[in-house]
Each structure stands twice: as structure tokens, then as C-alpha cells.
Amino acid sequence: MTTQSQGLHTHVLDTLGLEISSGQCPPGSVLRTDELAQRFDVSRTVIREVIRVLESMHLVESRRRVGVTVRPTETWNVYDPQVIRWRLAGSDRPRQLRSLTVLRSAIEPVAAGLAARHATAEQCAELTERALGMVATSRGQQLEGYLEHDIAFHRIVLNASGNEMFARLGDVVAEVLAGRTHHQVMFEDPDPAAVTLHVRLAEAVREGDPEAAERITKEIAVGALHELDVLAP
């Protein structure tokens, strides 16, 4: 899943990022560049580049004479898709999934309302197409196909909102949906009610009805939150 073998840099970054965000290196712990270079059998050059990236994500802090210190969680750039991926792969996935879903429940209704105003004909068409795709894959253990349509659907809504900040949340939503599908044991097919709501949302957007779009999206979000409550601690 995580990118790899396209450079030493990437591998080291991924490994360290995962270790830190999974709490394996708790905040306050100190890493030394020389040790890391030895451990990964790469030059200090590579390690330093990785550290700089980690530093830009506020995962670590590098100080002279003391080393590279892991920073407390509150300072992390939790909107960085890479960080999100690491955390979803790590130990506190449930908490992460929940806070991300709450975020979605705040953003997506507003985005859907805007989409109903601004969506182009093409976007409406693709939205409908994806909704139908969700219907078609909603039964019979076609979870992967369903997931693909689901992700595409929400991406379109976010893009159609015309707001850059919303649009760029598409990756986050994709991570959440993928994480939900892959990491939660899903015995059953997707909730039929959710499928219906997506179809109705596509209609509302197509008909240019912002209030309906917002309301329906809120319902979808409520459903997602409820699902988390049922399936997670």
C-alpha cells in the first residue's frame, strides 16, 4: 500500500513515520542520526533528508547536541495525507477513524450544498454514474468495487463544491473510506440506506437543490458515525 523501493529515502521515511505515529517511538524519545544511518544501512545524508521531512510534518524536532526528539501528538500535521495513512495503519486507528469521520460530517454537507449550486453538467453526470455504480456493487461481496465508486463519488462532490480546501480533502476521505473497508471486518454488504442516500444526493445536486443536498449528506454522515459506534469500541 505505502509507496516503496523508489529510492532509499522513501523506505526510511515510511518506516520511521510509521514507527513514530504508531507510538512505537513515544513523544520525547530521542533518535540519533548516526544510529539511524547504521540501522537502515544508509548514509547520514539520506537520514538527514528524512528527518527534515519528518520535521516539516512536526513529528520530530532536531536540536544540536541533543538529537532528534519526537514531538507530542498535538503538534503533528494531522492533515497531511501521509500522516493520516501512517496513523490509520497504526494502533489508534479507531480514534483516528472517528475524528476523521466527525470532520467529514462537518465538511461534506456544506460542500454538497455548494456542489448543488456550482456543479457542471459533466460532474452531475459522473456523480449519477458513480451512484449507479454503487447500487450495482452493493450486493454480493463486491466491496472493492463499491469502495472505488464510493471514493469517486465523494471526490466529485468535494471538487464540485468549487472550494479548494474542500476539494483537497478528497484524499483524506479516500483514506477514511479505504481504512473503513479494509481494516474493519465487514461481514455484510454496505448499508442499503446509505446507497439510497447517495442516489438521492446525486439527484439533489443535479436538480440544483442545495438544502436537500446538505440534508441528505448530513444523513449519510450520521449513518457513518453510527456505524462506527456499532463496530468500534
- What's the full length of the chain, in residues? 233
| Candidate residues 2, 8, 22, 118; the one interacting with DNA per rule CB under 7 A | 8
Taking the complex as a whole, how short is the minimal distance between the CB of residue 75 and its own copies, in angstroms?
9
Whole-number Å distance between alpha carbons of 147 and 153: 10
Q: Is 167 in the site for its own copies (CB under 8 A)?
A: yes
63 DSSP β-pair partners = 67
| Candidate residues 12, 60, 70, 111; the one interacting with its own copies per rule CB under 8 A | 111
Judge contact between 68 and 60, C-beta under 8 A: yes
Each residue 62-101 as x (binds its own copies by CB under 8 A) or -, in order, gives: -----------xx-xxxxxxx----------------xx-
| Selected range binding DNA among 20-28, 45-53, 101-109, 113-121, rule: CB under 7 A | 45-53
SS3 category, 61: strand
Q: For DNA, give the closer residue by CB, 67 or 223.
A: 67
Q: Is 43 in the site for DNA (CB under 7 A)?
A: yes
Q: b/e per residue, 119-153, with b = 16+ CB within 10 A?
A: beeebbebbbebbebbbebbeeeebeebbbbbbbb
Judge contact between 161 and 167, C-beta under 8 A: yes
Selection from its own copies, DNA, none that 8 binds (CB < 5 to 8 A by kind) is DNA
Please count the other Cβ atoms lying within 10 Å of the Cβ belonging to residue 190.
Answer: 20
Selection from DNA, its own copies, none that 97 binds (CB < 5 to 8 A by kind) is none
Taking the complex as a whole, how short is the minimal distance between the CB of residue 15 and its own copies, in angstroms?
15
Interface residues with DNA (CB under 7 A) are 7-9, 31-34, 41-46, 48-49, 51, 62-68
